[in-house]
Amino acid sequence: MQPKTALQSKTVVTDIVLPSETNPLNNLFGGELLARMDRAASIAARRHSRRIVVTASVNHVAFNRSIPLGSVVTIEAKVSRAFTSSMEIYLDVWIEDRESGECVKANEAIYTFVAVDETGRPVKIPQLIPESDLEKQRYDAALRRKQLSLVLAGKMKPVDATELKALFE
């Protein structure tokens, strides 16, 4: 299977924040952002694997900055590392200033998707070759995050999480 670059999965979704999608402070509702990120991540995962993909885990979400009503929100999703059937997707969320057009980073998130066949069984996917410094940094840390996610899900014994343990040694 031919390896792919992160750029080949790059997915950019731009949308506006409508009144029905806000909380009482007139900022974007967290669950709405999670759903938008899930959709963008699923497209990136599909572009990388060219298979049916399902969300296996939401590994990290940082709601660092609120997103006001009327904001133009851009979500950029890229596969940061591919394993056997699972992929880590890294998402960067930007809001665009109405007057200057300048984009400010609002949030980021990391999702794990698994490629499956028509019966829902995990299938093998192409490996990922990181190119830029940021892609290499995210690629290197992804195994550690996978192990943490599996330990928290009760699918891996902490003693087997070698990458994770190395952080504390």
Ligand X SMILES: CC(C)(COP(=O)(O)OP(=O)(O)OC[C@H]1O[C@@H](n2cnc3c(N)ncnc32)[C@H](O)[C@@H]1OP(=O)(O)O)[C@@H](O)C(=O)NCCC(=O)NCCS
- Applying CB under 6 A, the residues found at the interface with ligand X are 54-57, 83-86, 112, 114, 116, 120, 122, 146, 149-150, 153, 155
* Residue whose Cβ sits closest to ligand X: 83
In angstroms, give the least distance from the CB of 124 to ligand X. Answer: 8
What does the buried/exposed string (b/e) look like for 80-116 if buried means 16 or more CB atoms within 10 Å of the residue's CB? bbbbebbbbbbbbbbbeeeeeeeeeebbbbbbbbbbb
In angstroms, give the least distance from the CB of 24 to ligand X. Answer: 27
Can you spell out the DSSP letters for 53-101?
EEEEEEEEEE--S--BTT-EEEEEEEEEEE-SSEEEEEEEEEEE-TTT-
Return the structure tokens found at 72.
């133009």
Nearer to ligand X, 94 or 145 (CB): 145
SS3 132: coil
Return the structure tokens found at 20.
């029905």
Q: What backbone phi and psi angles, to 5 degrees, belong to 152? A: -65, -30
In angstroms, give the least distance from the CB of 86 to ligand X. Answer: 3
Nearer to ligand X, 94 or 111 (CB): 111
In angstroms, give the least distance from the CB of 52 to ligand X. Answer: 10
In angstroms, give the least distance from the CB of 65 to ligand X. Answer: 27
Is there a contact between 113 and 41 (Cβ–Cβ < 8 Å)? yes
Nearer to ligand X, 27 or 112 (CB): 112
Nearer to ligand X, 45 or 73 (CB): 45
Nearer to ligand X, 64 or 162 (CB): 162
